[in-house]
Amino acid sequence: MNQPPSQPKSREQWGTRLGLILAMAANAVGLGNFLRFPVQCAGNGGGAFMIPYFIAFILLGIPLMWIEWGIGRFGGKYGHGTTPGMFHYLWKHPLAKYVGAIGLTIPFALVIYYNYIVSWTLAYSVFSLTGKYAGILDFRGMADFLAAYQGKISNNYFPNIMTAFLFFCITHFCMMWIISRGVSKGIERLAKTAMPLIFVFGAILVIRVLFLGTPDPALPENNIANGFGFIWNPDFSMLKESKVWLAATGQIFFTLSVGFGAIQTYASYLKPKDDVVLSGVATSTTNEFCEVILGGSIAIPVTVAFFGLAQTKTIAAGGAFDLGFFAMPIIFQKMFLGQVFGTIWFFLLFLAGVTSSVAMAQPIMAFLQEEFKTSRRVAAWIVGTMTFFFTLPVIFFLKHGFLNEIDFWIGTFGLVVFAILEVVLFIWVFGAANAWKEINSGADIRLPRFVLPLMKYVTLAYLVALMVFWFIQDGWGVLTMKGVSAADYPYIWFARFMLIGIAAFMVFLVYIAWRKPHVIQRRVPE
């Protein structure tokens, strides 16, 4: 291994270790913890789902966390907070930095649509408080309410898309403001405020749900115990189906926010001898607490208590958004002090979402600051302005499938491809012995030796299987635009060209950056 040059003094660092773990956990905790997990669990064998889920957590999730933390801290030692620089030192090859550009493309492309979805939760929090959707007590009505908000249709509630646009602007400004304040004063402070609030709001909602009992005595089978039963009663026959194992593995992959490029950037602000092993475990388990204990105890149990098992199955089959944006607003209206609990629910989702979108914006921020020597404020303006304009087609072409197209190629397929690349580069190219030494350096607990072959073979095999299955199951259909109406083809092609354009732009930025004198000074022979 090369001896790292002294880390530039201007690089930011985390204020406290607790702040770092909360920021990492805040990055991982997102909308999926509270909406996607319960739907996946209920639809894939209930309690039995937890068997492949925990197996994937141990064999894929935690090892991948350690790998990303290790890569990040390694890059930080050389003054690089993003994967172009990190990969340059892992694989001394001219292509390495351009492969690393994927670690800029993915979080950037994620921000441009995730931020918009996060803005819906802020809007619904306000709508719940002000009673905007009061009186809509059926699914058709709530579906129309959301469709009008998104500009897909026009009705009395929303004549145009301007309300959604306004809430997006507010959310976007919040993100820009936080990243402009830096790692310690912006991201860490946000995490130290948001994570305790997520715990408190989650606990309030769980306690409320537990005490709901049987909301309608005329329908005694619609109760909270049956709601928990719907999530937890194991259906072992489902374990024979590969789709259950795929769903559990996919859920672990999404929930830990691995393959984003964001963990590496956060970890790059560690000191060279800071622990990554125990911190990685603490982060992962905090995320699991929010997902399994809080997320699993709110939306599905309460839906069963109010709508019954049969209707909950239909809602869960409709997906996470049907549960979060159609069922939950109706349920809160039927509940005592429902306006308050509805506001808390959607604000909880907003906090979970905004902490993740800040993490997604940080890699490109770090790249501009470190490789182009841009000031933090200017970098925030550049990132904010670029992501704002790229989000406009997502907002205005939503009904044409623009968001779904980007979500598949970036938010599903892209993540697993990038995760495979980083495992190969770190464990196979950089070398298993070097990677092992890097991860264990400064560790608070010693990792058992079997973890190394686990990372080298099992974690990688899991990722490759996930990529192949996803491509067969969904990728080919998305690629060939199966089920897409001919009228939407131009929008789908626009989304694809936009993604290719973003990737090409990131490669170009890396090309320019590698010609800057301060980067040349730190380069190693390729």
Partner 1 sequence: MTSSGWIFLIVSWSFILFLMIASFTVVLRKK
- Measured in whole angstroms, how far is the alpha carbon of residue 2 from the centre of its chain? 33
Q: Are the C-beta atoms of 312 and 234 separated by less than 8 Å?
A: no
CB of 484 vs partner 1, minimal distance in Å? 39
Site for partner 1 in 38-67 (CB under 8 A): 46-48, 50, 54
CB of 151 vs partner 1, minimal distance in Å? 40
> Please, which residues have CB within 8 angstroms of residue 478's CB and are 6 or more apart in sequence?
405, 408, 409
CB of 53 vs partner 1, minimal distance in Å? 8
Q: Are the C-beta atoms of 400 and 491 separated by less than 8 Å?
A: yes
Length of the chain measured in residues: 526
Site for partner 1 in 178-237 (CB under 8 A): 225-226, 228-229, 232-234
Under rule CB under 8 A, residue 289 binds partner 1: yes
By C-beta, is 261 or 280 nearer to partner 1? 280
By C-beta, is 65 or 394 nearer to partner 1? 65
Taking alpha carbons only, the member of 163, 167, 147 closest to residue 155 is: 147
By C-beta, is 279 or 391 nearer to partner 1? 279
Taking alpha carbons only, the member of 126, 42, 121, 40 closest to residue 302 is: 42
By C-beta, is 23 or 519 nearer to partner 1? 23
Under rule CB under 8 A, residue 21 binds partner 1: yes
Count of residues near partner 1 by CB under 8 A = 29
Under rule CB under 8 A, residue 288 binds partner 1: yes
CB of 281 vs partner 1, minimal distance in Å? 5
Under rule CB under 8 A, residue 445 binds partner 1: yes
Helix (H, G, I), strand (E, B), or coil: what is residue 522? helix
* N-term to C-term CA, the chain: 14
CB of 445 vs partner 1, minimal distance in Å? 7
By C-beta, is 288 or 322 nearer to partner 1? 288
Q: Are the C-beta atoms of 50 and 272 separated by less than 8 Å?
A: no
Under rule CB under 8 A, residue 275 binds partner 1: yes
Under rule CB under 8 A, residue 285 binds partner 1: yes
Under rule CB under 8 A, residue 281 binds partner 1: yes
DSSP string, 132-200: TTTT--SHHHHHHHHHHHTTSS--SS-SSTHHHHHHHHHHHHHHHHHHHT-IIIIIIHHHHHHHHHHHH
CB of 24 vs partner 1, minimal distance in Å? 12
Under rule CB under 8 A, residue 292 binds partner 1: yes
Six token digits for residue 331: 């349920």
CA atoms lying within 13 Å on the CB side of residue 238? 22
- Cα gap 263→179, rounded to integer Å: 15
| Residue from 11, 18, 152, 321 binding partner 1 (CB under 8 A) | 18
Residues within the interface to partner 1 (CB under 8 A): 16-18, 21, 46-48, 50, 54, 225-226, 228-229, 232-234, 275, 278-279, 281-282, 285-286, 288-289, 292-293, 444-445
